[in-house]
Amino acid sequence: MVEFIPKRWFNIIPKLPKPLPPPRDPEIDRSSIEILNRILPEEVLKHQFTVEEYVDIPSEVVDAYRAFGRPTPLLRATKLEERLSTPARIYFKFEGALPTGSHKLNAAIPQTYYALKEGNSEVVTETGAGQWGAAVALSSSYFGLRSVVFMVRSSYMQKPQRRQLMELYGSTVNPSPSDLTKVGMRELKEGNVSGSLATAMGEAVEYALDRGAKYMVGSVLDVVLMYQSVIGQETIKQLEVLDVEPDVLVGCVGGGSNFAGFTYPIINSFPDKEYVAVGASEIPKFSMGVYRYDYPDSARILPLLKMITLGVDYRPPPIYSGGLRYHGVAPSLSVLITEGVVKAAEVDEREAIEAGRMFARLQGIVPALESAHAVAYVIKRALEAKEKNERINIVFNLSGHGLLELNNYTEVT
C-alpha cells in the first residue's frame, strides 16, 4: 500500500469563525513588515498572507517529507489505557519518529526548499534547546544549503548533544551572544553572557540583513502553522483506516505550531469535537494572558500580532520545557480559543514529568517534556472518562521524543 502523504497544506485563515486581525507595524521609525520582506524567502512571505484554503506542496518537498519518514505513525496506547482502566481509547500521532526528533522538520523543509529555489545559498536561524535548529540544519544539508544557527549560549554549554547533532548535519553553530553581530556584541559588553532566545533571534535577523542569508521561522507565524498541517491531514486518513472517529484532540502549545498542524485539518472535518490546547502552568498565558496586539519576539523585530499574550517583557521561569516558555499564542489559535472552538488547559512541570515517565514505562517512547504536558492532560481526561463511563476516542500529538534531554527526567525526583 502506498502510504498517504498530503499534497496540499491546509490553511485555516479563510475558515476562522472571525476574520484574523492583520499584523501591524509598531509606531517606530522602521517597518517590521518591510524587514520581513527582506529576510524571508518570497514564497514563504506570500504564504504568510495567503487567503487560499489549500496551497499545493511542491513535489520536492513531498519527496523530502517521504525521505524523512512521513507519514509518521499513528499508534494506540493500549498499555496506558489498561493501566488507567479507562473505557477511553487513546491514540497518538508520533512526530518524534522524524530523524531530528520532533515536528519542527515539517516547517524547516519548505522554508529551506524555497530559499534554495529562489537562488539563495545560506539560511540562518536561532534556537533555544536545539529542536528547531536541528530541523533547519538537516533540511539545509538535504537541499545543499549552508546553515548558520545562533544557539542560546546557556543551552550551547549545557546541552552539547543537540549542538553536536546540528554540527553533524553540517551547520555552523554559534553560541549567542556572539561577537559576529552588533546585537551580540552589545549584550556581551553588558555582561549578558548566558543569552536568551530574543538575543539569538536578534542576531539571526541581523545576520540575515547584513549577509543576505534567508531567515527561517520556527513557530507562531501562520505560515509555519500551515506547513505543519501535514500532521493533521495524515491523522484523518489514519483514523479512517482504523474506522475511528476522534472525540477529544489534545496537543501542547509553545507558539502553537504542532497543536495547529495537528488539529486544524481535523477542526475543518469535525468542527464540533473537543479540542484542548495544553500549556505550562508556570507560563500561565491561557489563564492570565490578555488578547491584544503584542510583539511576537522580544527583540521587537517582527510586526505586532494580535494574540493571547502575557506581554513581550514577561520573563518565563526556567522550566525544563524550553519549547513552552513562550509569552504568546499564535494569532489564529488565539481566535479559536477566544471564540470557544478550542479549550485551553494548563499542566505543571511536575505533572508532565510524572506523566512522561509513566508513558515511557508503559509505551516505551520517552516524550519530550513539551509533549509530556499533552500526555498529562490526556491521562486526566481518560480518568474523567472512567468516572463518567465515556467510551471516547482521545487522540493526541506526541510532538517529539526526549531522548536527548533525559536529564529532564532524571534531575527531578
Ligand X SMILES: Cc1ncc(COP(=O)(O)O)c(C=O)c1O
Judged by the rule CB under 6 A, the positions of this chain that interact with ligand X are: 102, 131, 219, 252-259, 323, 368, 370-371, 399-400
Q: How far is the CB of 100 from ligand X (least distance, A)?
A: 10
Q: Which is nearer to ligand X, 177 or 254 (CB)?
A: 254
Compare residues 298 and 371 and give the one whose CB is closer to ligand X.
371
The closest residue (CB) to ligand X is 323
- For ligand X, the closer of residues 45 and 129 by Cβ is 129
**Which residue is listed with cell 534547546?**
129
Q: Considering the complex, what minimum distance in angstroms separates the CB of residue 327 from ligand X?
A: 12
* Distance separating alpha carbons of residues 185 and 174, to the nearest angstrom: 13
Burial of 108 (0-12, 13-18, 19+ CB in 10 A): buried
* CB nearer to ligand X: pick between 253 and 304: 253
Buried b (16+ CB within 10 A) or exposed e, 127-159: bbbbbbbbbbbbbbbbbebebbbbbbbbbbeeb
Pick the closer one to ligand X by CB: 180 or 231.
Answer: 231
Q: Which residues, 6 or more positions from 142, have their beta carbon under 8 angstroms from its beta carbon?
A: 64, 67, 109, 112
Distance (Å, whole) CA 64 – CA 381:
36
Q: By C-beta, is 232 or 323 nearer to ligand X?
A: 323
248 Ramachandran zone, left/alpha/beta (phi>0; psi -120 to 50): beta
Residues 6+ apart with CB under 8 A from 129: 155, 159, 162, 322, 323, 405
State whether residue 207 is helix, strand or coil: helix
* Closest distance to ligand X from the beta carbon of 126 (Å): 12
The distance of closest approach from Cβ of residue 198 to ligand X in the complex, given in angstroms and rounded to an integer, is 15
Task: Using the minimum distance from each CB to ligand X, give the nearer residue, 86 or 95.
Answer: 95
CA 18 to chain centre: 24
Q: Which is nearer to ligand X, 6 or 254 (CB)?
A: 254
Using DSSP's 3-state secondary structure scheme, residue 56 falls into strand
- In angstroms, what is the minimal distance from the CB of 79 to ligand X? 22
Smallest distance, ligand X to C-beta of residue 304, A: 19
Give 331's contacts (C-beta < 8 A, 6+ positions apart).
Answer: 20, 21, 222, 305, 306, 307
Q: Which is nearer to ligand X, 148 or 374 (CB)?
A: 374
Residue 159 C-beta: closest distance to ligand X, Å:
12
Helix (H/G/I), strand (E/B), else coil: 171: coil
The rounded distance, in Å, linking the Cα atoms of 410 and 405 is: 9
393, 88 Cβ separation under 8 angstroms: yes
- Quote the least distance from Cβ 309 to ligand X, whole Å: 14
* Grid coordinates belonging to 203: 542576531
Q: How far is the CB of 206 from ligand X (least distance, A)?
A: 22
